[in-house]
Structure 1
Amino acid sequence: MREAYHVELEQLAEHLAAMSVQVAEAMELATKALLEVDLGLAEQVISDDAKVDDARADCEEQAYALLALQAPVATDLRTVLAAIHAAESLERMGDLALHVAKAARRRHPEPVLPESVRPYFAEMGDFAVKLARRTEEVIKTKDVAAARTLESDDDQVDDIHRHLFSVIMDRDWPHGVATAVDVTLLGRFYERFADHAVSVARRMVFVVTGKMPGYGPETDEL
């Protein structure tokens, strides 16, 4: 009985890892759609978002069933609770990739981003995808040291996000208010995507140590 239970816990972790792959691919395609003004890729991300939503629902259903039927304690209880929180964060990462894709579709056939800021978004996109893929590995391995290293890439995204404000607030910004708003919102989407990846990693640290890492206050907002 206990062996079957632990098999179910492993399956739950595998489902979360698969969600990490889904949202990594979604953000990778959404960023490409944004930078290359590719409507087809944007539409693909938008249509595939339902799969991420379904994956979250499946993870939560499995987690709640384990809580109800097995009454887990200690590490097992932490694993199930962490899975519920992680599934929520991963689903929100999918939503953020969706927002990027919708921005690309909304402005098509015109580019959303001026040429001057595209390199910043290319870099944030690379970091975001890297974070999601490293989250997959952390979920699989529950490697505390690896989980903690996600903070450095998140800091890089935060730095670029802050720099974007100085770019659009410059008195010589030539692209108008609407474009400045687009750049601000898109920068926020990438920044939140990275934050949620770190949140998932923190949950894995909680599973192993029983304590949430003291990186600072968490937030669940998009």
Structure 2
Amino acid sequence: MREVFQLELREVQDRLVEISELVATSIDKATRAFNESDVALAEECIEDDARIDELAVALDELAITILARQNPVARDLRIVVSALRISASLERMGDLATHIAQLARYRFPDKVVPKSLRPTFAEMGRLDVEIARKLTELLSSQEVELAETIRNDDDKIDALHLSVFDKVLGEKWKGETVDTVDATLASRYHERFADHAVAIAKKVQYLATGEWVPESA
């Protein structure tokens, strides 16, 4: 039974990696659609979200089945429960990528934000894609050093997020109301995407080391 249980845990990990790979692809499409006003990429991203949701539900069902049948204890229980939480965060990351793509689709053929903010959003998008790829690698390899690099990238996104607010609330801002709303929403989506990745990284790090990283870290 123990061997079967270990195989099931491996399947859970493999499924998490699969979902994370799809999320990384989704945020890549979303940010390119957003920055380049590419409606075809936006549509692809939006359509792909259904697959992410489907896989997340299937993984949750597998985890619940394992809990019911195997009755795991201690560390094994933490692994399965953490998988449920990670799955939920990945699903939310897919949703956030979709929200970014939807903004691109709504404003097509125009770009979503004014020219003055485009370099900021290009950098936020680049960092989110990098974070998503690092997260996939972390889930696959359990190399906890990656968690620190994800947190560092998140700090950069937080700084960019604040700079967007400073810009749209500043006296020199000449954007229309719709520009202000779009920039605020898009910045928040990018920032929250990275936050979910950090939350997942902390869970993986905890499972690997037994040490919980405080929220302030």
Scaled by the length of structure 1, the TM-score of the pair is: 0.94
Q: CA deviation at 1:71?
A: 0.7
Match of 2:200 in 1: 200
Match of 1:170 in 2: 170
Following the alignment from structure 1 to structure 2, what is the Cα–Cα distance between the partners of residues 202 and 48?
27
Please say which of residues 107-116 and 187-196 is displaced more in the overlay: 107-116
Match of 1:43 in 2: 43
Q: CA deviation at 1:78?
A: 1.1
Task: Please give the residue correspondences for 1:21-60 in structure 2 after superposition, counting only pairs within 5 Å.
Answer: 21-60=21-60
Q: CA deviation at 1:56?
A: 0.6
Match of 1:128 in 2: 128
Q: CA deviation at 1:142?
A: 2.1
**Which amino acid in 2 is paired with 1:153?**
D
Following the alignment from structure 1 to structure 2, what is the Cα–Cα distance between the partners of residues 210 and 69?
25
**Which amino acid in 2 is paired with 1:179?**
D
Task: Please give the residue correspondences for 1:37-186 in structure 2 after superposition, counting only pairs within 5 Å.
Answer: 37-186=37-186
Following the alignment from structure 2 to structure 1, what is the Cα–Cα distance between the partners of residues 146 and 26?
23
- Residue 11 of structure 1 pairs with residue 15 of structure 2: no
Please say which of residues 109-118 and 78-87 is displaced more in the overlay: 109-118
Secondary structure in 2 aligned to 1:122? Answer: helix
Residue pair 1:12, 1:83 contacting (<8 A) in 2 also: yes
| 5+ long unaligned stretches in structure 2 | none
Identity %: 41
Secondary structure in 1 aligned to 2:172? Answer: coil
Q: CA deviation at 1:210?
A: 3.6
Q: Write out per-residue CA displacement over residues 50-96 of structure 1, whole angstroms, 9 at most, x where no aligned residue.
A: 00100110110111111000011122111101100000000000000
Following the alignment from structure 2 to structure 1, what is the Cα–Cα distance between the partners of residues 115 and 95?
25
Residue pair 1:34, 1:111 contacting (<8 A) in 2 also: yes
Following the alignment from structure 1 to structure 2, what is the Cα–Cα distance between the partners of residues 13 and 64?
14
Scaled by the length of structure 2, the TM-score of the pair is: 0.96
- Residue 187 of structure 1 pairs with residue 168 of structure 2: no
Please say which of residues 109-118 and 154-163 is displaced more in the overlay: 109-118
Aligned residues: 217
Residue pair 1:82, 1:206 contacting (<8 A) in 2 also: no
Following the alignment from structure 1 to structure 2, what is the Cα–Cα distance between the partners of residues 77 and 132?
26
Following the alignment from structure 1 to structure 2, what is the Cα–Cα distance between the partners of residues 115 and 24?
26
**Which amino acid in 1 is paired with 2:30?**
A
Secondary structure in 2 aligned to 1:28? Answer: helix
| 5+ long unaligned stretches in structure 1 | 218-222
Q: CA deviation at 1:211?
A: 4.4
Root mean square deviation, CA, Å: 1.3
Q: CA deviation at 1:174?
A: 1.6
Residue pair 1:26, 1:97 contacting (<8 A) in 2 also: yes
Following the alignment from structure 1 to structure 2, what is the Cα–Cα distance between the partners of residues 68 and 25?
33
**Which amino acid in 2 is paired with 1:86?**
I
Match of 1:220 in 2: none
Residue pair 1:39, 1:108 contacting (<8 A) in 2 also: yes
